[in-house]
């Protein structure tokens, strides 16, 4: 396992790791019969443990491991960057050049660009937690220790989901209105959010260990199976159960199995106005995924790369799955999720 970075490391992490998708092996029921040809590359961005972010973490009583907030912020930034690129190409998802990729990475390595969004995420999650504590103070939080533990706990899947739901709802309400609210700005548009998804584990098998509002929220995952309880990564699933869930937020919130998400995209339902299955398939060449990798969150996006980006490209292009991480988690990512198929395009 690659060791986690410490606060002594620099605020910007410049290392990159990569492997071919064909080299990855997975045996679960979602694994494709043949991995999509392409490159999986991890591009490190900001060090979430750097002292630069400590005052913000302290202000909002946020957990020191703030990957949840950073991953949400990176997803929003990526959504806008990729959407702007698509608009410049008049809706065509062209192969990405090395220069374009470098420009995207430069934004995500900029504390000035990333920090305001990270703080916005921290503030909202902290406010929601404080409201829950106030509402249940007499029953669940009878001591300062219990309250602090809850406030500083790691960000949960439902909290990331809630943030995206509220953010997307605000963007949709903003459309057609000249008045913005505190929750709507120019971070990205509702149209940009159509390509943002939360790819996460089905946590229903872990229901017995859940607490507080997470226990209530897990009920919606019951439809994905998991009769046996245990670790969501290792528990044996019954026939028809799904290990993973793909959650989308615009035009409406929807939870799907990976196969359902791919079918939706291939049918052209993921792109407004798609005229054919082929056009629908092309609509997900540049998609943003916030990934739950079991104990850590990372942000990734898919794209086609120009030949010069990779020395062994085939036919001038390769499909890439780019992880933009606030921390080094490559091997964990490989072992658990990164072979989820984007689509054979």
Residue 24 scores a pLDDT above 90: no
Residue found by looking up tokens 């698509």 in the block: 86
User: In this structure, what token pair is assigned to residue 270?
Assistant: 């993921």
Q: Which of 14, 2, 76 is nearest to 46 (CA)?
A: 14
Provide the H-helix boundaries in 136-283.
144-151, 157-174, 212-217, 258-266, 277-282
- Are the C-beta atoms of 101 and 41 separated by less than 8 Å? no
User: In this structure, what token pair is assigned to residue 291?
Assistant: 């990934």
pLDDT category of residue 272 using cuts at 50, 70 and 90 = very low
* E runs forming strands in the chain: 16-20, 38-44, 196-201, 244-248, 254-256, 288-292, 297-306, 317-325
DSSP letter string, 54-104 = HHHHHHTT--S--HHHHHHHHHHHHHHHHHHHHHHTTT--PPBPHHHHHHH
pLDDT category of residue 322 using cuts at 50, 70 and 90 = low
Q: What is the pTM of this model?
A: 0.83
C-alpha R_g of the chain: 20
The per-residue pLDDT for range 141-178, each reduced to its tens digit, is 999 999 999 999 999 999 999 999 999 999 998 875 54
The per-residue pLDDT for range 188-211, each reduced to its tens digit, is 899 999 999 999 999 999 999 999
The per-residue pLDDT for range 276-309, each reduced to its tens digit, is 443 444 445 789 999 999 999 999 999 888 875 4
- Are the C-beta atoms of 320 and 305 separated by less than 8 Å? yes
């Amino acid at each position: 396992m690659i060791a986690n970075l410490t606060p002594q490391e620099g605020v910007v992490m410049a290392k990159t790791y990569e492997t071919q998708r064909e080299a990855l092996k997975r045996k679960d029921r979602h694994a494709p019969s043949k991995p999509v040809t392409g490159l999986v590359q991890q591009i490190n961005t900001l060090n979430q443990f750097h002292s630069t972010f400590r005052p913000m973490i302290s202000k909002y009583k946020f957990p020191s491991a703030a990957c949840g907030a950073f991953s949400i912020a990176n997803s929003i930034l990526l959504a806008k960057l990729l959407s702007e690129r698509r608009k410049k190409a008049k809706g065509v998802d062209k192969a990405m050049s090395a220069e374009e990729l470098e420009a995207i990475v430069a934004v995500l390595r900029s504390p000035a660009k990333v920090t305001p969004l990270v703080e916005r995420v921290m503030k909202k999650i902290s406010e929601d937690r404080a409201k829950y504590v106030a509402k249940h103070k007499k029953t669940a939080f009878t001591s300062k220790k219990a309250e602090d533990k809850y406030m500083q706990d790691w960000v949960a899947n439902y909290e990331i989901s809630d943030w995206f739901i509220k953010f997307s709802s605000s963007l949709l309400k903003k459309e057609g209105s000249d008045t913005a609210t505190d929750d709507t700005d120019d971070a990205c548009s509702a149209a940009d959010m159509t390509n943002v998804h939360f790819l996460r584990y089905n946590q229903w098998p872990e229901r017995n260990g859940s607490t507080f509002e997470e226990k209530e929220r897990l009920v919606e995952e019951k439809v994905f199976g998991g009769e046996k309880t245990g670790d969501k990564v290792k528990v044996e699933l019954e026939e028809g159960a799904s290990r993973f869930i793909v959650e989308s937020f615009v035009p409406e919130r929807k939870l799907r199995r990976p196969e359902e998400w791919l079918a939706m995209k291939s049918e052209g339902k993921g792109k407004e106005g798609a005229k054919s299955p082929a056009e629908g398939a092309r609509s997900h060449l540049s998609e943003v995924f916030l990934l739950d990798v079991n104990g850590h969150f990372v942000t990734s996006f898919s794209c086609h790369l120009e030949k010069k980006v990779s020395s062994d490209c085939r036919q001038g292009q390769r499909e890439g799955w780019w992880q933009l991480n606030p921390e080094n988690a490559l091997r964990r990512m490989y072992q658990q999720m990164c072979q989820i198929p984007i689509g054979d395009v």
